[in-house]
Amino acid sequence: MALAIIPPWLEKLTSLNVSQSDLIAWWGAIAGTMALGWNILRHTRPKGRLKVEGIYQVDGTKPLLPPVFAVQVTNVGSKPVLVQGIAIQLKKGSTPSHHFFPCENPMMLGRGKFFLQVIDRTGWIPTDAESLYAWDSSGKQWYLSRKQFRGLIDQHHRFIRAETKRVATIQPRHC
């Protein structure tokens, strides 16, 4: 009965004084090796991967308006990813611990596709912000790099200083 599932090319081995149990053991080893190879291939195959960038956009037609803070999320992987939203994580001990900005309609990003979500039209970033990330439908969080986040915070501080100076020059002085 066991020989019925053995391919014809393996049946020839039975004539070479190979026991039936050895033949079944080899068949099991071959099937197990194929299953292991499939699992390794499935684990290492290309996946979706997101790149998160925080940007300030200045409206050139309205230079007196503050810059808009937005986040651009790009799929740099090979599989589509369903993006659920953006979050700013605050330093430990802060209340609340996160500011969430969910997508009104979750965005399915194909390979090389991106979307831009405006976080705040006044350029606001919390002063105790620690990180910025996007999350997908599987719950995975895709972070903006620390270096880029520090640069974003520095840029935010420069905008605040420039805005303070601009407002001070516009207001009339009282004598």
Query: How confident is the model over 110-163, as pLDDT tens digits?
Result: 988 998 888 887 777 787 888 899 998 888 899 999 899 888 888 888 877 877
pLDDT at 24: 87
* Stretch 20-27: mean pLDDT: 84
Q: How far is CA 136 from CA 5, 88, 112, 139, in A?
A: 45, 15, 16, 5
What structural domains and CATH numbers belong to the chain? 2-44 (no CATH), 50-170 (2.60.40)
pLDDT at 117: 86
Contact 69, 118 (CB under 8 A): yes
pLDDT at 171: 64
Q: Residue 3 above 60 pLDDT?
A: no
DSSP state, residue 13: G
pLDDT at 142: 92
Across the chain, what does the average pLDDT equal? 81
Task: Dig out the tokens for 167 from the structure.
Answer: 């407002």
106: three-class secondary structure by DSSP = strand
* Stretch 50-72: mean pLDDT: 81
